[in-house]
């Protein structure tokens, strides 16, 4: 790679629900103090934990944090997502069938609400959170273009979308001289799941990064953001088992390689996973969540690990 590897993004899914606001503020402060730039949220975070059944909490916490730190806005980049918020205030149990979706009306309305909660006049990256086949992807792309032209959004990304729909949206935008989708966000880690396996916590049909999606991103120059890169702590915490979807002989070989590289760098397996994601080709931006400053510092330390060509060859050369 000729460019510097991408850095980490701070995931804020649980801010305002499981993560109390004072802790969230401390995590945001530490992230910025250590040079972090991208803060990732969504308008639906975390509706399944909220008393109201709505997902306003994370964006509101970030908005209050920004308001309490005048002048900081220009030092950070905010990415948020629209489309997966429950449309029915009375119950979220019908999700995902009752989500707001990605019609033009829904996207424009959702972004307006997100800007208000965040207390900003624009978001740096707007994610189309979950594909909506009830709406032509061209309609969604046109809504995104309108937001870019109005200055409410700088860039557009797609999360949990199949490659063909991302490419259709890109082709439509490029044909009209509009800004295309230039980033994708998907679950990605060092271990590979068994084909067809159900992955707990990822109920998106196209949510797990595939070779095809990665190849599409590489060929088009799109950024790749990786969520759940640490399998919720399973690499380093003996109390957290590797999910069944990732348990197979290939994983045993990959874990062995991971531990060998970790030992050479005096790092943990999880830190090497984050470093590998950032250093591979194309480099990915891992999204890390944390509930304590120690957890956040541990993740951020991975950005200082320089994997050699031999390290990468060992990690990439494992069958499985």
**What's the pLDDT tens digit per position in 60-119?**
999 999 999 999 999 999 999 999 998 876 555 665 667 899 999 999 999 999 999 999
CATH topology of domain 9-316: TIM Barrel (3.20.20)
211: which DSSP letter?
A: H
Q: Is residue 278 predicted with pLDDT exceeding 60?
A: yes
Q: Closest Cα to residue 280, out of 166, 189, 157?
A: 189
**Percent of the chain predicted with pLDDT > 90:** 87
At residue 93, the pLDDT reads 63
Pairing of strands 223-227, 125-128: unpaired
Read off the pLDDT band of 1 (50, 70, 90): very low
Average pLDDT rounded to a whole number, residues 4-21? 94
* Local confidence band at 20 (pLDDT 50, 70, 90 cut-offs): very high
- Tens of pLDDT, residue by residue over 97-108, are 678 999 999 999
Provide the CA 261 distance to its chain's centre, in angstroms: 25
Cα separation, 284 vs 3, whole angstroms? 12
DSSP conformation class of 202? -
Higher pLDDT, 202 or 276: 276
**Per-residue pLDDT at 99:** 85
What average pLDDT does range 22-26 have in this prediction? 98
Residue-wise DSSP of 212-238:
HHHHHHHHHT-EEEEESTTGGGTTT-T
pTM for this model (two decimals): 0.95
Domains of the chain by residue range: 9-316
pLDDT at 91: 53
Band the pLDDT of 268: cuts 50, 70, 90: very high
In this prediction, residues 286-314 reach a mean pLDDT of 97
> What is the per-residue pLDDT for 2?
38
What pLDDT is stored for residue 262 in this prediction? 98
Average of per-residue pLDDT across 206-221: 95
| Number of other residues whose CB lies within 10 A of the CB of residue 201 | 11
With a CB cutoff of 8 Å and minimum separation 6, the contacts of 163 are: 210, 212, 213, 216
Cβ-based burial of 160 (10 A; exposed 0-12, middle 13-18, buried ≥19): buried
Q: Distances in Å between the alpha carbon of 135 and those of 103, 170, 316?
A: 6, 16, 39
Q: What is the pLDDT of residue 86?
A: 87
> How many Å apart are CA 46 and CA 64, to the nearest integer?
17
pLDDT single digits (tens) 126-140: 999 999 999 999 999
At 185, list the tokens.
Answer: 């966000």
Higher pLDDT, 317 or 98: 317
The per-residue pLDDT of the chain, averaged, comes to 94
Q: What is the pLDDT of residue 3?
A: 54
pLDDT tens per residue, range 161-203? 999 999 999 999 999 999 999 999 999 999 999 988 877 677 7
């Amino acid at each position: 790679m000729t460019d510097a590897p991408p850095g980490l993004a701070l995931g804020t899914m649980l801010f305002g629900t499981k993560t109390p606001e004072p802790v969230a503020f401390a995590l945001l402060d530490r992230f910025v103090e250590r040079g972090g730039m991208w803060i990732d949220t969504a308008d639906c975070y975390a509706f399944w934990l909220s008393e109201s059944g709505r997902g306003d909490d994370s964006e509101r916490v970030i908005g209050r944090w920004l308001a309490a730190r005048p002048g900081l806005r220009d030092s950070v980049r905010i990415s948020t997502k629209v489309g997966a918020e429950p449309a029915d205030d009375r119950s979220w149990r019908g999700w995902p069938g009752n989500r707001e979706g990605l019609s033009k009306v829904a996207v424009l309305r959702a972004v307006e609400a997100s800007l208000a909660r965040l207390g900003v006049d624009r978001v740096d990256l707007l994610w189309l959170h979950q594909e909506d086949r009830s709406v032509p992807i061209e309609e969604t792309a046109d809504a995104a273009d309108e937001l870019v032209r109005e200055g409410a959004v700088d860039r557009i990304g797609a999360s949990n979308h199949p490659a063909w729909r991302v490419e259709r949206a890109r082709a439509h935008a490029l044909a009209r001289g509009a800004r295309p989708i230039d980033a994708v966000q998907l679950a990605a880690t060092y271990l590979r799941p068994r084909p067809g396996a159900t992955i707990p916590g990822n109920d998106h049909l196209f949510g797990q990064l595939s070779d095809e999606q990665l190849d599409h991103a590489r060929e088009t120059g799109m950024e790749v953001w990786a969520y759940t890169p640490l399998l919720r702590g399973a690499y380093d915490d003996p109390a957290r088992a590797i999910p069944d979807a990732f348990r197979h002989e290939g994983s045993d070989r990959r874990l062995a390689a991971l531990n060998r590289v970790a030992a050479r760098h005096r790092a943990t397996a999880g830190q090497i996973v984050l470093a590998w994601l950032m250093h591979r080709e194309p480099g990915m931006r891992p999204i890390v969540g944390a509930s304590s400053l120690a957890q956040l510092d541990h993740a951020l330390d991975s950005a200082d690990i320089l994997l050699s060509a031999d390290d990468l060859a060992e990690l990439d050369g494992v069958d499985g």
